[in-house]
Amino acid sequence: MALLRNGHSTTILFGVLDPGFPLTLVEKTLTPIGWDGGGMIDITNMRNVLVRTRISKSLVTLTEMTVNVQWDPASFVPMVVPIQLNQPITIAYPDTSTILFYGWLDTFKPQEHKEGEEPIAAMTIIPSNINSLTGAEALPVYTP
C-alpha cells in the first residue's frame, strides 16, 4: 500500500483548454474531490416502538473541489472560458497517480489584497459526472 505522505505538489489540469490558452494559475492549496452519500431517508412510522428507523439513499455525490491559486491579472478576462464548461479535469498527486473526472469551474474569486500578503484567488470546481463528449454518466478514473 502506498499512502500519500505529503500533499505537495498536488496539481490540477483542465482538459479542454489549449496549452497556449492564456491562463496563468499556480496551485497554492487545494481540497480534492470526495464522496458524499447525501444523508439518510427517515422511514420512521407509527408502528415504530423504540427507535427511529432510516435507510441510506441510492446515489452518491462527488463533492466539490476548492483550489487557491496564484494568478496573473492577464488571466482575469480569459477565466470566463472554463466557467461552466463541462470538461475532463485531472488531479495529479505527488506520487504521479491521477484522478480524472468531469466537471466545470464554477467560481474564480480573487481574494482580498493586503500589504505584505500574496494575492490569491479562490476557485470552486463542481463535478458533473457527465462525459462531455458522450453525455453519459461517468465515474472518476484513477490511474496509478
Q: Provide the 3-class DSSP secondary structure of residue 75.
A: helix
pLDDT digits (tens, 9 = 90+) for 37-64: 999 999 999 999 999 999 999 999 999 9
pLDDT of residue 113: 94
Structural domains in the chain, CATH included, are: 11-143 (2.40.30)
Q: Provide the 3-class DSSP secondary structure of residue 92.
A: strand
Q: What's the pLDDT band for 21 if we cut at 50, 70, 90?
A: low
- Residues 106 and 33: their CA atoms lie apart, in Å, by 14
- Residues 95 and 8: their CA atoms lie apart, in Å, by 10
Mean predicted confidence (pLDDT) in 98-115: 96
pTM value? 0.89
Residue 80 burial (10 A CB sphere; 0-12, 13-18, 19+): exposed
- Residues 16 and 136: their CA atoms lie apart, in Å, by 18
